[in-house]
């Protein structure tokens, strides 16, 4: 549809970036990024009209997002950017070269593997455009920048390179490795805003294997460049590996909502730090006030709970429930990774699988029918009955009613 529209408007349209890369890698990717050689915003409005969607435009950057409902009834987004014809200044007295706009657009990107395009318009429908040897790099499993100033232009690309390297099991090329080291030597990370670093870290933590990326970050000394307290030690490294295992286990067994991985990894990364140091890490990452407070509260709750968990009598499930149910899932999973006790691990697993979802077969209405005067006492009676159920003292509805009535 986008290609046909391009033909009618006489502009070249390309699908670019991650979608094309993942197509060649045989990986699923539903995020479409289009580049139009012409007026991208006008194109987006016309395409949105055909798709029955709406447009959010960014005039300054000549980009737009089309938001529409796909055939499966889900909301989808389509990014549309404008490729501008630009004149590329050559040094000294060489003439200025005119690069075709799509080539220029691709040249500005981070890595060769992301600088691929497929033409959708005109007679070239489906033509793969590879100016920078991306197909070869995909075959050789290499992450390579397109030019030597790439990390200077955008130091977040250091974190992106590591993320892609881990995700695809590629290797950062030798020249690109040198450029990363050079960028770190120039302390370019310190120039980045906390918000941007935090965003990139979150993307890393949401991947399947953040641990490998954390090890690479340590090798490049990126962690300490973000904040000295984040530097890995053998103990922290072990804990982070355990966190990855626990999260993998959780995602395999349970459905969404998944926990926010960054909270758990950041608890791990700051596990050996003093309170003031942790506060300073959170300030560097520019967390919002509520993220900051919730994180600090969770950190101290986890610290005080983890020892108590080891002291619970076997099968004292109501006690376990009382201890864990007020704690956010992230904290519960962190404790599971942190503890060395197999009994505590088993208890947490039992809490997640059964206890946290236990409900009663009776409600406040039943209490009213039993003649209880309505009021706050209802909550207390129901709570006690739930604890009795957790401890396997009452099972059937009748047993629960009898217990509540005692």
DSSP string computed for 85-100: PEEEPPSTTPPPEEE-
**Strand pairing of 63-69 and 12-16?**
unpaired
Per CB under 6 A, the segment of 106-114, 132-140, 287-295, 398-406 that binds ligand CTP is 106-114
Among 17, 173, 210, 331, binds ligand CTP (CB under 6 A): 17
User: Residue count at the site for ligand CTP (CB under 6 A)?
Assistant: 11
Q: How far is the CB of 160 from ligand CTP (least distance, A)?
A: 6
In angstroms, the Cα distances linking 35 to 14, 120, 317, 397, 403 are 5, 10, 57, 62, 67
User: 57 with 64: CB under 8 angstroms?
Assistant: yes
Distance between CA atoms of residues 295 and 289, nearest Å: 10
Among 31, 140, 219, 283, binds ligand CTP (CB under 6 A): 31
Among 9, 18, 65, 76, binds ligand CTP (CB under 6 A): 18
User: 117 with 14: CB under 8 angstroms?
Assistant: yes
Q: How far is the CB of 208 from ligand CTP (least distance, A)?
A: 12
Q: How far is the CB of 34 from ligand CTP (least distance, A)?
A: 12
Q: How far is the CB of 54 from ligand CTP (least distance, A)?
A: 21
Q: How far is the CB of 184 from ligand CTP (least distance, A)?
A: 16
Instruction: Show the 3-state SS of 346-404.
Output: HHHHHHHHCHHHCCCCCCHHHHHHCCCCCCCHHHHHHHHHHHHHHCCCCCCHHHHHHHH
- Nearer to ligand CTP by Cβ, of 18 and 38: the residue is 18
Residue 230: exposed, middle, or buried by beta-carbon count in 10 A (0-12, 13-18, 19+)?
A: buried
Distance between CA atoms of residues 347 and 355, nearest Å: 10
Q: How far is the CB of 115 from ligand CTP (least distance, A)?
A: 6
User: Of residues 147-206, which lie at the interface with ligand CTP (CB under 6 A)?
Assistant: 154, 156-157, 160
Element (DSSP H or E) covering residue 13 = strand 12-16
Does the protein bind ligand CTP through residue 109 (CB under 6 A)?
A: yes
Per CB under 6 A, the segment of 107-115, 122-130, 226-234, 354-362 that binds ligand CTP is 107-115
User: 81 with 63: CB under 8 angstroms?
Assistant: yes
Among 37, 105, 110, 165, binds ligand CTP (CB under 6 A): 110
Q: How far is the CB of 79 from ligand CTP (least distance, A)?
A: 8
- Nearer to ligand CTP by Cβ, of 153 and 219: the residue is 153
116: left (phi over 0), alpha (psi -120 to 50) or beta: beta
Q: Which residue is nearest to ligand CTP (CB)?
A: 18
DSSP-derived secondary structure letter, 188: G
- Nearer to ligand CTP by Cβ, of 156 and 319: the residue is 156
What three-state secondary structure class fits 287? coil
Torsion sign across C-alpha atoms 209, 212, 217, 218 = positive
Q: How far is the CB of 156 from ligand CTP (least distance, A)?
A: 5
- Nearer to ligand CTP by Cβ, of 133 and 328: the residue is 133
Does the protein bind ligand CTP through residue 114 (CB under 6 A)?
A: yes
* Residues within the interface to ligand CTP (CB under 6 A): 17-18, 31, 33, 109-110, 114, 154, 156-157, 160
């Amino acid at each position: 549809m986008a290609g046909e529209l391009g033909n009618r408007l006489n502009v070249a349209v390309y699908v670019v970036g991650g979608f094309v890369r993942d197509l060649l890698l045989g990986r699923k990717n539903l995020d479409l990024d289009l580049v139009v050689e012409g007026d991208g915003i006008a194109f987006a409005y016309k395409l949105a009209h055909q798709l029955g969607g709406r447009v959010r435009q960014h005039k300054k950057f000549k980009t737009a997002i089309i938001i529409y409902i796909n055939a499966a009834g889900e909301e989808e987004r389509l990014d549309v950017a404008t490729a501008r014809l630009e004149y590329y200044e050559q040094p000294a007295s060489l003439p200025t070269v005119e690069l075709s706009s799509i080539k220029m657009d691709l040249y500005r990107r981070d890595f060769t593997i992301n600088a691929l395009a497929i033409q959708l318009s005109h007679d070239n429908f489906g033509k793969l455009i590879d100016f920078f040897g991306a197909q070869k790099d995909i075959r050789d499993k290499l992450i390579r920048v397109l030019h030597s100033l790439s990390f200077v232009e955008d130091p977040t690309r250091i974190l992106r390179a590591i993320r892609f390297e881990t995700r695809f099991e590629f290797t950062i090329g030798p020249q690109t490795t040198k450029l990363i080291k050079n960028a770190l030597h120039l302390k370019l990370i310190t120039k980045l805003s906390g918000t941007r670093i935090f965003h990139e870290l979150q993307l890393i933590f949401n991947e399947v294997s953040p641990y490998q990326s954390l090890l690479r970050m340590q090798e490049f000394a990126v962690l300490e460049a973000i904040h000295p307290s984040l530097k890995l030690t053998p103990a922290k490294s072990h804990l982070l590996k355990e966190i990855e295992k626990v999260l993998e286990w959780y995602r395999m067994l349970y459905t969404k909502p998944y926990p926010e991985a960054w909270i758990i990894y950041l608890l791990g990364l700051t596990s050996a730090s003093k309170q003031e140091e942790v506060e300073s890490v959170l300030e560097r990452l520019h967390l919002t006030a509520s993220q900051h407070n919730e994180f600090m509260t969770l950190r101290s709750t986890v610290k005080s709970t983890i020892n108590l968990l080891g002291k619970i009598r076997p099968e004292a499930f109501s006690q376990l429930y009382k201890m864990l149910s007020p704690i956010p899932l992230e904290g519960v999973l962190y404790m599971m990774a942190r503890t060395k006790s197999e009994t505590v691990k088993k208890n947490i697993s039992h809490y997640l699988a059964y206890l946290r979802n236990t409900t009663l077969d009776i409600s406040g209405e039943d209490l009213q029918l039993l003649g209880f005067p309505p009021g706050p006492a209802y909550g207390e009676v129901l709570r006690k009955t739930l604890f009795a159920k957790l401890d396997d003292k009452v099972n059937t509805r009748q047993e629960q009613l009898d217990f509540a009535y005692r």
